[in-house]
Chain A
Amino acid sequence: MEFDLSDEQREIKSTARDFLASRFKPERVRELAESDSPYDDDVWREICELGWPGLAIAEEYGGQGLGTVELAIVQEQLGYACAPSPMISNAYAGALIEAAGSDEQRSRWLPGIASGEARGAAELTRDPDPVVGAAAGSVVLVLADGEGAKLVETSEATLDRMNLIDTTRAYFRVSAEGGDPLPGDTSAAVDKGAVALSAELVGVAQRALDMAVAYAKEREQFGRPIGAYQAVSHRLADMLWEVEEARSLTLYAAWAADAQPETLALAASMAKARASDSAWSVSHNAIQTLGGIGFTWEHDVHFLLKRARVSAELMGSAAQHRERVAALTGLAAAEPAVA
């Protein structure tokens, strides 16, 4: 038993951390978030050179053939940087097509998704129409279709940009007729997508915690750093608890996706429920710790709160995932009465 990253995985993590810290400095994230289109094409090309779009896609389709653990490692760092990037939409679309697509659908779409040159984008939620991240600039959309999913070429769909509080990503309402159904089972890919988003939320929460801790050490009131007061330091301790618990559950779910698929459904729902709540609650508490400055547009923490709160609604809310956890913990849904 060894619950820790391998040396290779650590290398992926530190490469991602360093690369994203240099490309997405806080002032650059702010600039993109305040612009009409949050995605930086030059950085996307670099991300493609790093091989991230095809990280978890099989080598026969041009991917790197790595696992959900590696994808989660990169997603956590993207969350930590609050990086405006179409990465997760593209990776999720790739996972769905690879898991449930026909040979023909895979050969047609996966190489472009894996190289990042012809991106896909997948439905992240529905209310009542599908909501898709990073749809503009993609060539294909993967939309829910009954129990499964279908493909719609982006050029055939009508995209309506949403005006969400999170402006570090672009979200679209989609209306589309018809589409090309994926013949296979999407459930494992849906769970992997939730794990990847959970990892991103862990990164968002860790960044908010780091900001709050740094501020609590330097900000002085009543002649002391505020972090010396237990009203503040105990809140920060609880924030660490939330981040670490979400991280343990998410890493476990990523491992389960690769190594123990029979436990993935429960593991993924536990991870997404915990990570959703942790990320917005930790970023909320970071604002509380920062005090007035945390409520200003000028401080960067609000981008984290907004990313966290929107992501908490995507790929199943915390409450929806907890309902699934309950059903998998012995509280089966009620059986209809026998007539």
Chain B
Amino acid sequence: MDLTLTSEELAFRDEFRDWLEANHPGPAPQGGDQVQFEFERDWQRRLHQAGWAGVSWPKEFGGRGATLIEQSIFGEELARAKAPRPANVLGLVMGGPVVIAHGTTEQKERYLEPILSAEEIWCQGFSEPESGSDLASLKTKAVRDNGGWRVTGQKVWTTFAHEAKWCMLVARTDPDVAKHKGLTYFLMDMEQPEVEVRPLRQITGESEFNELFIESAYIPDENVIGGVGNGWMVAITTLMNERAGLGASAALGLANSLDELVELAKQRGRADDPIVRDKVARLKIGIEGLRLGAMRALTSTMKVGIPGPEGSIAKLQWSSTNQALTELAVEIGGIEALSKDSPWSYRFLRSRANSIEGGTSDVLRNIVAERVLGLPKLR
């Protein structure tokens, strides 16, 4: 048992930390979504030129081939430096790994490099208005047409859709088999008039997400990933990639927020309030519990290939802690913190989604109950 970094891990950390210090682009510019997006795209290009874009990807596909612990260090350093996110985050964490795992040689040659360079942005078309947690019930259908497919349906909660060239789309290709078996994973070209993107306004007032209305959009056969009828299996890989190894950097993000909260408590003269002190301590303990659980899960994954039970609760820990943290901030900050001009009011509202996005807390508890504790399924 050794919680310090090995000399190789320290060297990795220092190399990236030094690079980050020299190349940090500074705070995000004002001026709206498009300006923000271009800023993030430039940032990813800079990461890519230095070989830091596909840290988890194997070297043969243009990545760095980092170990899980190095990936975690990478995420922690980004959080520590408060660096911007790269523009093509879904392509990097989901699209690329899926093409690497399930794509043909031609697909790898075609898609991977433009993901890394942020030349082509990727979005994800999984959720539908009537298929959220029960993803396998989705209704968007694809029918054979002229050496390819015609797709019709509606997708929702699609991030980056207005910037994206490619959509990771799961559609039903066989309505006559069990719901998990009739699905296929496609890459759909977003640049066609049959795909309409409409912004979806959320409770913060902004539109991070979109709805997709797809009316007979064309997808050629060579854009099927992993074979017709294998969409569920391919999609599951994608979702696992989304969740793997995020715990440590998520904990660091929370630790940054807790520092700000402590400053707020001091400014507002609440540093001696025993209730505030007790709640701050609970947050600190929750954040450390998340960080340490992530380290245990990383060790277990590196040793035996699967994370231990502590890994499956990381998302629950993160969402509940972030929500409690922003709740305490608006409580300490009083009416000022509820002004639309306060960063805390935004964070308070935005964190309401944490227990829904990327797997609702309710479904995650089902997963823990069934797969970790071995309890019987209700279904």
Contacts and interface: CB of A to CB of B under 8 A. Distances in A.
Contact of A329 (B280, B289, B362, B368): B280
B293 A236 contact: no
Chain A CB count within 10 A is highest, among B1, B277, B368, B376, for B1
A240 B313 contact: yes
B362 to A, nearest CB: 7
Interface string B284-314: 1110110011011011100100000110010
Interface stretch (B2-10, B100-108, B142-150): B2-10
Contacts of A229: 378
Contact of A248 (B266, B289, B316): B289
Contacts of B272: 333-334
A12 to B, nearest CB: 12
Interface residues of A, number: 51
Interface string A30-43: 00000000000000
Contact of B365 (A238, A248, A274, A334): A238
Contact of A4 (B69, B281, B300): B300
Q: Is the interface of B mostly helix, strand, loop or mixed?
A: helix
B42 to A, nearest CB: 33
Interface stretch (B118-126, B160-168, B221-229, B257-265): B257-265
Q: Is the interface of A mostly helix, strand, loop or mixed?
A: helix
Contacts of B3: 1-3, 252, 255, 259-260
A331 B262 contact: yes
B81 interface: no
B317 interface: yes
A217 interface: yes
A236 B262 contact: no
B378 A322 contact: no
A149 interface: no
A138 to B, nearest CB: 32
Given A1-B4, A255-B1, A326-B277, A244 B365 contact: no
B87 to A, nearest CB: 30
B262 A233 contact: no
Contacts of B262: 329-331
B378 A228 contact: yes
A264 interface: no
Contacts of A230: 362, 365-366, 369, 378
A323 B366 contact: no
B289 A249 contact: yes
Contacts of B373: 213, 227, 233, 236-237, 240
Given A248-B293, A331-B265, A236 B6 contact: no
Nearest to B277: A326
B375 A228 contact: yes
B60 interface: no
Interface string A238-274: 1011001111110110010001100000000010011
A28 interface: no
A259 B3 CA distance: 9
B271 interface: yes
29 contacts: A1-B2, A1-B6, A3-B299, A69-B1, A213-B373, A213-B374, A225-B375, A225-B376, A229-B378, A230-B365, A233-B365, A234-B366, A236-B375, A237-B313, A237-B368, A240-B368, A240-B373, A245-B286, A251-B292, A252-B3, A252-B288, A260-B4, A321-B281, A322-B281, A323-B277, A326-B280, A329-B258, A329-B262, A331-B280
Interface of A: 1-6, 9, 69, 213, 216-217, 224-225, 227-230, 233-234, 236-238, 240-241, 244-249, 251-252, 255, 259-260, 270, 273-274, 319, 321-323, 325-327, 329-334
The 7 closest A-B CB pairs, nearest first, are A322-B281, A233-B369, A245-B289, A248-B292, A326-B277, A325-B281, A227-B375
Given A1-B3, A325-B281, 7 more contacts: A3-B292, A237-B372, A240-B373, A252-B3, A270-B285, A273-B281, A327-B277
Interface of B: 1-6, 9, 69, 258-259, 262, 265-266, 271-272, 274, 276-278, 280-282, 284-286, 288-289, 292-293, 295-296, 298-300, 303, 309-310, 313, 316-317, 362, 364-366, 368-370, 372-378
